Chains A and B, each alone.
Chain A
Amino acid sequence: MKGKEYVRPISSTWFLQRGSWKRFMLRELTALFVGAYAVFLLVMVYRARDEQSFAAFYEGLRSPLSILFHLVTLGMVLYHAVTWFQLTPQAMPMWRGEERVNPASVITTQYVVWALATVVVAGLAIGLGR
């Protein structure tokens, strides 16, 4: 087997070849939106230093561009959360003696905790807002 070997080239758009690779790249892309929203929250905290500054900021939130940003970011963050929830049982297998805990219950637990956290945060926000 002394003949020369053939190495197949890799295209720069390799991730378009498989559906799962496209979904993976989308999941990687969502990180930008998660980061962008963190920056948005920091700006909001900064603008909340006085009432006038916050009022102007609040007014800006009503612009179509801002609403579009929030809708797209919501979609991206949901995709981010759901796909990572889906992958958690692989990264953190739970054991009960010899039996591995059913991956579905690990995923469900995360949704339950998410729902509870949402209720707590929403409760705090509404409570403090009064």
Chain B
Amino acid sequence: MEPRNSGGSGRTVALDVFRYLPDAEDEPRFQRYEVPAREDWVLLDALGYIKDHLDGTISYRWSCRMGVCGSCGMMINGEPRLACSAFLREWFPGPIRVEPLTHFPVIRDLVINLDDFIHKLSEVKAWLVPKEEKPISEGEYLQTPAQLAHFKQFSLCINCMLCYAACPVYALEPRFIGPAAIALAQRYNLDSRDGASEERADVIASQEGIWECEFVGDCSRVCPKHVDPAGAIQQAKVTDTTDWYRSLLMPKGRQ
């Protein structure tokens, strides 16, 4: 990716980038790079410039560069952001501190280990489990627009994990299932075609689930897709509480 150095006024902005090279060094450090201070550049462009022109050893994840894939989440001056949607000009004249997403182990430079999150996604069964399996010949599982509306917001998650980096509960208790995984569980629980909410409750309503959340609300504030995971968790708390009272009042009834 050759940068077009058009309109170059020669102005630069300093990036202080978190470097961690496990094979060579025990401790991480910050390394400063001067990159063109272009109005139309996002942080991901600047990282590409460093990689191509200044220092090929720098590592970071990226893919779509248009806020859809969720790969380039990182801390920019302490805020969890997608590097592809964060214009450098927001922080002019700089310097801009770039770190890997916080609350996750760092593999190298800006690359974090996301195994924990992937594992949690499977724990909450973040997929559709049909109420009753039917053969393809019987056609689609139908749904009205109103039924879709109830969970659509939670389905917009791109698994970027910015919400985990914004969550102090996850920082202090890494076993916490966390914002995105619970929001996705809620997305399927609220789906009229799904029938696995009781199975999910084993995880969602457990010690590490919704009741760990203290409603700080930063997960929803940093979410680039406005999923509102904090809302999903509180709504799951309301459901869990009503279910509990219902089972108390009608122990033999259907839950």
Tally of A interface residues using CB under 8 Å: 27
**B207 interfacial by beta-carbon distance below 8 Å:** no
**B118 interfacial by beta-carbon distance below 8 Å:** no
**A24 interfacial by beta-carbon distance below 8 Å:** yes
Stretch at the interface among B65-73, B87-95, B102-110: B102-110
Tell me the complex Cα distance, A114–B171, Å: 37
Q: Nearest A residue to B102 by beta-carbon distance? A: A8
Contact with A along B60-100 (1 / 0, CB 8 A): 00000000000000000010000000000000000000000
Tell me the complex Cα distance, A10–B150, Å: 37
Tell me the complex Cα distance, A21–B170, Å: 13
Interface magnitude class on chain B: 20 to 34
B108 interface neighbour in A3, A87, A95, Cβ under 8 Å:
A3
Tell me the complex Cα distance, A14–B218, Å: 14
Q: Would you mind naming 22 contact pairs between A and B with Cβ atoms under 8 Å apart?
A: A1-B108, A3-B22, A3-B23, A5-B106, A5-B107, A6-B22, A6-B105, A7-B106, A8-B106, A10-B172, A14-B168, A17-B78, A20-B216, A21-B216, A24-B168, A90-B230, A90-B231, A91-B235, A93-B231, A93-B235, A98-B146, A98-B149
CB distance from B118 to the nearest CB of A (A): 15
| Docked-complex contact A21 and B234, CB < 8 angstroms | no
Contact with B along A86-107 (1 / 0, CB 8 A): 0101111101011110000000
| Docked-complex contact A15 and B105, CB < 8 angstroms | no
| Docked-complex contact A91 and B234, CB < 8 angstroms | yes
**A18 interfacial by beta-carbon distance below 8 Å:** yes
| Docked-complex contact B106 and A6, CB < 8 angstroms | yes
- Which of chain A's residues have a CB closer than 8 A to the CB of B171? 10, 14
| Docked-complex contact B28 and A6, CB < 8 angstroms | yes
Contacts from A to B (Cβ < 8 Å): 1, 3-8, 10, 14-15, 17-18, 20-21, 24, 28, 87, 89-93, 95, 97-100
Tell me the complex Cα distance, A15–B108, Å: 27
- Which of chain A's residues have a CB closer than 8 A to the CB of B231? 89-91, 93
Tell me the complex Cα distance, A10–B167, Å: 12
- Which of chain B's residues have a CB closer than 8 A to the CB of A1? 107-108
**B215 interfacial by beta-carbon distance below 8 Å:** yes
- Which of chain A's residues have a CB closer than 8 A to the CB of B23? 3
A90 interface neighbour in B106, B107, B217, B218, Cβ under 8 Å:
B217
- Which of chain B's residues have a CB closer than 8 A to the CB of A10? 171-172
Query: Which 9 A/B pairs are nearest by Cβ-Cβ distance?
Result: A3-B22, A91-B234, A90-B231, A5-B105, A6-B106, A98-B149, A98-B146, A24-B216, A7-B105
CB distance from A96 to the nearest CB of B (A): 10
- Which of chain B's residues have a CB closer than 8 A to the CB of A93? 231, 235
Contact with A along B162-201 (1 / 0, CB 8 A): 0000001001100000000000000000000000000000
- Which of chain A's residues have a CB closer than 8 A to the CB of B149? 95, 98-100
CB distance from A19 to the nearest CB of B (A): 10
B146 interface neighbour in A3, A89, A91, A97, Cβ under 8 Å:
A97
- Which of chain B's residues have a CB closer than 8 A to the CB of A99? 149
Tell me the complex Cα distance, A43–B228, Å: 42
- Which of chain B's residues have a CB closer than 8 A to the CB of A6? 20, 22, 27-28, 105-106
Tell me the complex Cα distance, A20–B79, Å: 12
**B214 interfacial by beta-carbon distance below 8 Å:** yes
CB distance from B13 to the nearest CB of A (A): 24
- Which of chain A's residues have a CB closer than 8 A to the CB of B28? 6
**B120 interfacial by beta-carbon distance below 8 Å:** no
A95 interface neighbour in B102, B150, B215, Cβ under 8 Å:
B150
A20 interface neighbour in B20, B113, B145, B221, Cβ under 8 Å:
B221
